[in-house]
Chains A and B, each alone.
Chain A
Amino acid sequence: MGIFLAFPVLMIAAVIQAVLLPQTPLIGGGPNLVFLLVMAWSLNAPLPEAIFWAIVGGISSDLLSAVPLGTSALGLALLVFLVNILLNQFYGLGLLLLGLAGLFGTFAFEFYRLAALDAFQLFGYIPADAPFNITWGNDIANVIAPVMVYNVVSILPVYGLLRLLQRRLPRIE
């Protein structure tokens, strides 16, 4: 059931991310909603379902972005694998893991996306007439750091909402 829910939830989140959040006066642009939803869902979902969420969320984000399709999906999927491994290693540390995902996961994901963008420019995957000038120090301070703060603050409420939703969904064994 969670698989079907992925489409509307993540598509709407991606659109809100691309359309609404840039218009709000938040310093640094606001939280990464798709990232938060995928991470929060993966904490209590089977791995294949969490991977599916990562791919749908990533593709939705990429469709509204200049990066090639699959870029965000790859980053989110790798993070979901990592969370799954850690959950099995450290059982009972779910919420702590959530906080860590909000902080370090955000950093890793956003850093990966900027690095991918840089690499794609190098390989000519992004049209030369729309260049992105990535200055790492500046981008980490002004782009990644604010998103980390917003994600850490937002991940617990997002997790709470999704947990309520997950409990109401019919369980398919």
Chain B
Amino acid sequence: MRRRPVNRTPLLLVTLGVCLTLIVLSGGGTLRPLENILSIPLNALAGLFSGAGRAVSDLTAGQRSPEEQAQYIADLETQLARITGEVVALREIGGDYQRLADLVNYVSQNEGQEVVAADVIARDTISSLRTFVVNRGARDGVRVGMPVVTGQGLVGRVINVSANAARAQLITSEFSSISSRTQTNRVEGAVIGLASGALRMTLLPQGAQVQVGDLVLTSGLGGNLPPDIVIGQITSTRQFESDIEQSAEVRSLVDFDRLEIVLIVTSFEQIDLSVFEPTAIAP
């Protein structure tokens, strides 16, 4: 394309004048406000592009030779294995923390009680017997009959003690019977374990008002357990006119299948009531 002749000299002079004026004024700082205004659209564009730029940078940074890729994958696998181990350990610590927090909570709410924390180290091989072994025994002040609790409530009672271990029976055992009462109406009864692993409160007087949702606590009657330890919550009641008593299903807040740390209340001693039992008087 042949161009039309343009008189270049005035254009050159104007261009030079404009550019040199800009340089002098800008160098002196006079144009700073104008530069700030002109920079606004450019900075907005730069903001838009910087995200894309990072993506491009990440993409190109990921380009490696096959050997480097293999090494990179191996390193990542090593890191993954290490981190997986750490995650497992941290989850364990988190679980322990929660359990200990519950126990601390129990201790702080029952300041009068002396307790020993114990790890559950074994469960009964005959699961229907529902007993477990803890790593605290006579050396730690554990005695037969002492209650075993967690932050969620009553777990069971110590039934055998060795020097450094003790066996406890869960309250869900069929052989367990605990004197108890409801929290609101103070209705007394006995919580027994069922073959299914559930709990039932029996011996409730026929006319007594038993509310669903009410908490069931130990009553302390019989001297086998201290009073006011939470056993569970009433989920339903059964009442037949033909019966002389009513019963209620109780759900414990304790997860008996996942017991790991428990507290043994060592400040409690069973009260021996045998002296009050009637005996044959010698003629």
Contact = CB atoms under 8 A, between A and B. Distances in A.
Interface of A: 11-12, 14-16, 18-20, 23-25, 44, 46-48, 51, 54-55, 58-60, 62-64, 68-71, 73-74, 77, 81, 84-85, 87-88, 91, 120, 123, 125-126
Main secondary structure of the interface of A (DSSP, over half): helix
B15 A55 contact: yes
Contact of A120 (B19, B27, B41): B27
Interface stretch (B52-60, B103-111, B151-159, B180-188): B52-60
A55 B5 CA distance: 21
Contacts of B2: 91
A103 B215 CA distance: 90
Nearest to B39: A63
Contacts of B20: 70, 74
Contacts of B35: 63, 69
Nearest to B44: A15
A84 B6 CA distance: 10
B23 interface: yes
A18 B46 contact: yes
A123 B26 CA distance: 13
Nearest to B12: A81
B50 interface: yes
A70 to B, nearest CB: 3
6 contacts: A15-B42, A19-B53, A20-B53, A60-B42, A64-B39, A126-B27
B8 interface: yes
Contacts of A84: 3, 6, 8
A70 B6 contact: no
A74 B23 contact: yes
Main secondary structure of the interface of B (DSSP, over half): helix
A120 B29 CA distance: 13
A73 B38 contact: no
B23 A15 contact: no
Contacts of A73: 18-19, 22
A71 B21 CA distance: 10
A25 B23 CA distance: 33
Interface of B: 1-6, 8, 11-12, 15-16, 18-28, 31, 35, 38-39, 41-42, 45-46, 49-50, 52-54, 56-57, 60-61
Contacts of A54: 15
A46 B41 CA distance: 28
Given A20-B49, A23-B57, 17 more contacts: A15-B49, A16-B49, A20-B52, A24-B56, A24-B60, A25-B60, A44-B1, A55-B15, A63-B38, A63-B39, A64-B46, A68-B23, A70-B22, A74-B19, A74-B23, A77-B15, A123-B27
Contacts of B12: 81
Contacts of B18: 55, 70, 73
Contacts of B28: 125
B11 A70 contact: no
Contacts of B16: 74, 77
Interface centre among A16, A48, A68, A88 (most CB of B within 10 A): A68
A84 to B, nearest CB: 7
A14 B42 contact: yes
A71 to B, nearest CB: 6
A19 to B, nearest CB: 4
Given A20-B52, A20-B53, A24-B60, A88 B3 contact: yes
A59 B45 contact: no
Given A19-B50, A20-B49, A64-B46, A47 B60 contact: no
B28 to A, nearest CB: 8
Contact of B42 (A58, A63, A69): A63
Contacts of B25: 69
Contacts of A24: 56-57, 60
